[in-house]
Structure 1
Amino acid sequence: MTTPADTSAHRTCDACGEDKLVPFADLGEIPVLCGVHWEAHGDAVASGVGRMHLAACPRCAYVRNIAFEPDKLVYDTTMDTNLHFSPAFQKFSAELVESLNERYDLGGKLVLDIGCGQGEFLRELTHVSGAGGVGYDAMYAGEVGEQGGVTFHSAFAPRGGGLPRYDFFTSRHWFEHIDDPYEFLVDLREQAQGREVFGYVEVPDAVYDLATAGWEVIYPHVSYFDAYSLATIFGRAGWTVESTGTLFSGMFRYIEVSANRPRAGGHAAHTGELPSLRARDKQLAAIAGFSERHHAERTKWRDTIARLDADGARPVLWGAGSRGVQFLTLADRELALSAVVDLNPRKWGRFLPVTGHRVDPPSTLTTLQPKAVVITNPAYKEEIAKSLADLGVTAEILVA
């Protein structure tokens, strides 16, 4: 009997379409629904797992989970991947809104947001710019329909001519979830119907994720893009790459693109260095060392948590997002951590997939008084340090 990885072992690269993907890391079974938080502990522990078997293209450095099974994932309003409860992320998002509006003069235009989450970014962008907006996301749990010039759909963006007549599209942290990313880009360009359009796409940066422990290598993320492979897939799909770079402490990779743009047009594109073979080689180096590094980090953190627990440090994890869920699955299946806390009140009192850790509000740390706080995202270290001080907690912050 063949496994999903066996049937995909000779898959052609989704990005360049030229070479075969070569397996390089098998992480085993990990949580599928890492963005869902259960009311009942038993349901959380019994939630589904899927295999993570990474393969890379030797030509363009694109990475994909070749064991991915799309039928395992259900995107609906029970998922909560909202990052806007963090002041640091709010600031980053607000600065991005100002930058895009300034450079693309969005007033009076229609912005399409594919994978809009709970709509915070699209609302802010349209408010600041005076643009109209349409957002699509199967996880959107708010009011559906038109709201002050912005229309939200709790559904996937339609293919094959169903989109509104957009001028600018955004897609933040959704592109990596798509089973056939090339087909998506071709369809999106064709739905522009020959009009000049621009776009901004943001994904986790694969060089960062694969050069570290890989806590963001999660089941919903089918694809992993660095600068070179991201520019490659957009170019192959008929888009013109205007710029690419990293944001948010190097964790996020953005790309700005256009279609049907006259080369003599007056639009001033965002300046940035386009990817080179050197960028690709940096990703290939991260790929080469990832499997050994990832498994070593698993062992290191299991041992570290056990030691802290034995020493009476009452270690806790701050952050119950996808990175935290992956970390807990791989490093604390024994539930040696004294608590898991998160800023998002929708998670409080609920349980995380597979391990069954309960999520509590940060205020519980005032009573617990841990001596060690583990975080999986260094971009939030300063923010968390301030929160701990405000709570009267003196603890060492350990970045996993």
Structure 2
Amino acid sequence: MSYVRDLYSANQLPIFQNRMYGSEVEARNCPLGDVRLVEDLNTGLVYNAAFRPELVVYDQHYQNEQAVSAKFRAHLEEVAAIVERGLGRHALIEVACGKGYFLEMLASRGCEVTGFDPAYEGSNPAIEKRYFAPGTGVTGRGLILRHALEHVVAPLEFLAQLREANQGEGTIYIEVPCFEWICEQGAWFDVFYEHVNYFRLLDFTRMFGTVHESGHLFGGQYIYVVADLSSLRTPAYVEGQRVRLPATFGAGERHMHAETNQAVIWGGASKGVIFALRRMRGGAPIRTVIDINPAKQGKYLPATGLRIESPNDVLPRLSEGTTIYVMNSNYLDEIREQAGPTFQYIGIDHE
């Protein structure tokens, strides 16, 4: 019998924080769902007990491409080096490869890689528009699973299906957000409805009997593991490894004051959606949203209905000293270099 320990709750968050909307009205009327993070006291894994998978259907309006940033491209180069070191360069499979950017990066480095994603909309013949599952008829020496496992109900069963699809063997690279970083930073703006699971590095050392390599990436915000799929096992809860969530997590007024200079946010992705929503509900709404991704510009954030604009459209309108909340401090230097010294920059994930 499964029993759990409650960790954190957040009500009425957008089902999709990375779905862009064509109008303010549509965005404000987006579907919402609740979050109830719990720690399973049998396995030690953390998940949203209020998650309803039937609400989550990805389509062409979902937009989460981060590779427009040079900082993020550098991160992907680091990941590619780990993949080559841990999985080799031949007979690779990328599960849930999305728009194919990382797969094509690997291919440009001389890797032999096949991608699987039923939502893929491009024309790369190396990507199959279906799930990698038992019966696919394709196997690889190495499997790549980047930022997918946090979206999957029953992650252990999902990994077991990948193992079966790959004939019970192979090496897997897994990359997910780091829940320890979220806890340590008090990053309530990093808890989303889309993410049903929240992982710590030690979770993977308990899930796999053989781990070849593991560590942190992207300023500690992500974790990764390279492990033998054949060694997958059900983790056991360890009392000394229980989740340590700060008692004040999500309860404070961090960055919730109303500025006299009409603050804006830079980053119209997941963190920006949750941050802007909390500000609006707290009576200190954000003025506008900046994002360098052309696919997001002119669209509207879910729940708040804020319009996303390009830096070139917004920056000339801002007065000197305007507060710009940077949604991810990994991009702070990049943003400051682009926008100049005129404004006040605050990274929300650092005090």
Following superposition of structure 1 onto structure 2, how do residues 91-170 of structure 1 map, counting pairs within 5 Å? 91-106=74-89, 109-131=90-112, 133-143=113-123, 146=125, 150-153=126-129, 155=130, 157-162=131-136, 164-170=138-144
Is 1:377 matched with 2:328? yes
Q: What displacement does 1:256 show?
A: 0.5
Does the 8 Å CA contact 1:60/1:228 hold for their aligned counterparts? no
Aligned twin of 2:177: 204
Corresponding residue pairs, total: 339
State the identity as a percent: 26
Aligned residue type for 2:295: R
Q: What is the distance in 2 between the residues matched to 1:102 and 1:222?
A: 30
Instruction: Give the counterpart of 1:294 among 247, 250, 268.
Output: 250
Aligned twin of 1:48: 31
Does the 8 Å CA contact 2:87/2:172 hold for their aligned counterparts? no
User: What do residues 260-302 of structure 1 show as CA deviations (whole Å, max 9, x unaligned)?
Assistant: 59xxxxxxxxxxxxxx979x74x622x2x25x22121xx3332
Deviation larger for 225-234 or 249-258: 225-234
Q: What displacement does 1:191 show?
A: 2.0
Aligned residue type for 2:268: A
Does the 8 Å CA contact 1:101/1:129 hold for their aligned counterparts? no
Aligned twin of 1:175: 149
User: What TM-score does the superposition give when structure 1 sets the normalisation length?
Assistant: 0.79
Q: What is the distance in 2 between the residues matched to 1:138 and 1:355?
A: 30
Q: 1:64 to 1:346 in 2, by over 3 A?
A: same
Aligned twin of 1:227: 201
User: What do residues 341-384 of structure 1 show as CA deviations (whole Å, max 9, x unaligned)?
Assistant: 10100111111111101000011212324621102211111111
Q: What is the distance in 1 between the residues matched to 2:151 and 2:74?
A: 25
SS at match of 1:188: helix
Aligned twin of 2:191: 217
Gaps of 5+ in 2: 232-236
Does the 8 Å CA contact 2:276/2:285 hold for their aligned counterparts? no
Aligned residue type for 1:119: G
User: What do residues 305-330 of structure 1 show as CA deviations (whole Å, max 9, x unaligned)?
Assistant: x1x1xx2x231100011111111112
Does the 8 Å CA contact 2:71/2:331 hold for their aligned counterparts? yes
Does the 8 Å CA contact 1:173/1:202 hold for their aligned counterparts? yes
Does the 8 Å CA contact 2:28/2:303 hold for their aligned counterparts? yes
Q: What displacement does 1:46 show?
A: 0.6
Q: What displacement does 1:172 show?
A: 0.8
Q: 1:384 to 1:277 in 2, by over 3 A?
A: farther
Aligned twin of 1:351: 300
Q: What displacement does 1:102 show?
A: 4.0
Aligned twin of 2:220: 250
Q: 1:259 to 1:32 in 2, by over 3 A?
A: closer
Aligned twin of 1:184: 158
Q: RMSD of aligned C-alpha atoms?
A: 2.3
Q: What is the distance in 2 between the residues matched to 1:321 and 1:190?
A: 34
Aligned twin of 1:284: 243
Structure number with the higher helix fraction is 1
SS at match of 2:162: helix
Q: What is the distance in 2 between the residues matched to 1:135 and 1:222?
A: 24
Aligned twin of 1:241: 211
Deviation larger for 208-217 or 94-103: 94-103
Q: What is the distance in 1 between the residues matched to 2:343 and 2:67?
A: 25
Q: What is the distance in 2 between the residues matched to 1:336 and 1:325?
A: 12
Instruction: Give the counterpart of 2:15 among 32, 36, 57.
Output: 32
Q: What is the distance in 2 between the residues matched to 1:207 and 1:60?
A: 17
